Amino acid sequence: MYELIRSNRRKSWFVFIGMGLLLITAGAAIGFYLDPNPESGQGALGGIFIAIILWAIQALIAFLGGDKIILNMSNAHKISSNDDKELFNVIDELSIASGLPMPDIYVIDTPAMNAFATGTNPKKSVVAITSGLRSRLSRQEMQAVMAHEMSHIYNRDVKYMTFASIMLCTIVILSEILLRTFLFSGGGRKNSSNKGGGNGAAQLIIIVAVIALAILAPILARMFYFSLSRKREYLADATAVNFTRDPNSLANALEKIAGDNTVFDPGKMAAAMCINKPRLKEHKENLSSTHPPIQKRIAILRALSMGTDYDTYTKVYASVVGKSDLPKSKKSKS
């Protein structure tokens, strides 16, 4: 089993390495732009150093206070078995099915229909469901939704996505710094370097390249991030039906959720862990591609008549999505 976690990890590392390289390049570009001295290379190295420090600090904050996301929501409250016996039992059953320790359970008072999981360590994880969703699902549908959330914990998605989203944030911050320094200095670097000699044209090319990078890096990083997120989303569906062996209930629940139009903003970090993309206020809609189209997810689930194991899901996924690039789950052996 642990071998499979490792192979799972390896696949996700590709995306991480891609984002890590972007991060380093962005750092190097800033450093180089501020101190363009090709001989010493100090500027570039310093930039990389700053980029990594920036990332590490954010990672540390996220990991120390990761599950605080939910505590910061004013309308979220933790429930015990007496508050909602059915919800509690459903999750208790899933903790047996998955072998995970019992997470903390939160209900968020909002008519929006969503659910999410958080916590980078399975021993200290949290699952949350909005009261809007809670009240509109049958027991089986709720089980299906919570199985999806528990699968995020099971597949260590919270950890991957936290790392990835911090990388994305850092790249965005770095690019913004880069662009702003450029705008404020009005490209004035040119003058100072002209003193050094007649390589103005080369300098100009480098500056153009740096600016192009500043614009492209965040776009690329977002693409990496969203592709990772969408795959982990399909994977969570696959793992969930593996636990419950009831793909139709998950499909039913997703259909109900698809019809929901209420605004719900759990924060950037939690968004990737939601059952469906949270409907944000308009100016934030660009976050929406953390989730695959819900219709495709439903189509896969509805086609799972011959089995609920990981291999069947992968096959159906390949025929619906047209690619066979689903990461492996720990559970994929059965």
Partner 1 sequence: MTLWIILGIVAVLIIWIISIYNGMVKMRNKVDKEWRNIDVQLERRYSLIPNLIETVKGYAKHEQGTFEKITEFRSQAMNARSVGEKAQANSQLSSALAGLTVQMEAYPELKANTNFLNLQEELASTENKISFSRSIYNEVVMDFNNKIQIFPNNIFAGMFNFKEKELFEISTAEVKEVPKVSF
DSSP-based three-state secondary structure for 134? helix
Q: Which residue has the tokens 């004013």?
A: 74
Shorter beta-carbon distance to partner 1: residue 140 or 289: 140
Window contacting partner 1 (CB under 8 A); options: 23-31, 84-92, 158-166, 281-289: 84-92
Q: Which stretch binds partner 1 (CB under 8 A): 96-104, 121-129, 176-184, 230-238?
A: 96-104
Measured from the CB atom, is 65 or 99 closer to partner 1? 99
Inter-residue contact 101 to 44 (CB < 8 Å) = no
- Out of 93, 104, 255, 265, the residue judged to bind partner 1 by CB under 8 A: 93
Residue 268: closest CA among 293, 297, 288, 292: 288
Least Cα distance to 126 among 273, 2, 228 occurs for: 273
Structure tokens at 325: 């690039």
What's the alpha-carbon Rg for the chain, to the nearest Å? 23
Tell me how far CA of residue 180 lies from CA of 21, 26, 173, 211, in angstroms: 22, 14, 10, 10
In the complex, the smallest distance separating the C-beta of residue 88 from partner 1, rounded to whole angstroms, is: 9
Q: Which of residues 93 and 255 has its CB atom nearest to partner 1 in the complex?
A: 93
Residue with tokens 């953390």: 290
Q: For Cα atoms 246, 250, 256, give the angle at the middle one, nearest 5 degrees.
A: 145
Question: Smallest gap, in angstroms, from Cβ of residue 329 to partner 1?
Answer: 15
The nearest distance, CB 85 to partner 1, in angstroms, is 6
Q: Which of residues 122-141 bind partner 1 (CB under 8 A)?
A: 138-140
Site for partner 1 in 231-250 (CB under 8 A): 243-246
Q: State both tokens at 153.
A: 């914990």
**Catalytic pick among 93, 149, 176, 255:** 149
Angle at 286 between CA 281 and CA 287, to 5 degrees: 85
265 near partner 1 (CB under 8 A):
no
Which range, of 81-89, 104-112, 167-175, 212-220, touches partner 1 by CB under 8 A? 81-89
> Which of 17, 57, 71, 96 is the binder for partner 1 (CB under 8 A)?
96
Longest Cα pair distance anywhere in the chain, in angstroms?
78
Whether 39 is catalytic: no
- Under the binding rule (CB under 8 A), the answer on residue 90 touching partner 1 is yes
Q: Which stretch binds partner 1 (CB under 8 A): 88-96, 170-178, 218-226, 254-262?
A: 88-96
* Spatial strand order in the sheet of 104-108: 76-79, 104-108, 126-130, 115-118
DSSP state of 279: -
Does the protein bind partner 1 through residue 325 (CB under 8 A)? no
Cβ proximity to partner 1: between 2 and 184 the closer is 2
User: Which listed residue (37, 57, 75, 92) binds partner 1 by CB under 8 A?
Assistant: 92
Q: Which is nearer to partner 1, 86 or 325 (CB)?
A: 86
Distance CA 189, CA 194 (A): 9
By beta-carbon proximity to partner 1, the closer residue of 162 and 244 is 244
Looking at the Cβ atoms of 90 and 174, the one nearer to partner 1 is 90
Residue 40 is classified by DSSP as T
Site size with partner 1, rule: CB under 8 A: 19
The yes or no reply on residue 143 touching partner 1 (CB under 8 A) is yes
101 contributes a contact to partner 1 by CB under 8 A: no
Concatenated DSSP letters of 181-207: HHHHHTTTHHHHHHTT-S-HHHHHHHH
Q: Rule CB under 8 A: choose which of 37, 75, 192, 334 binds partner 1.
A: 334
3 state DSSP class of 100: coil
- Residues annotated as catalytic are 149
Chain positions contacting partner 1, by CB under 8 A: 85-86, 89-90, 92-94, 96-97, 99, 138-140, 143, 243-246, 334
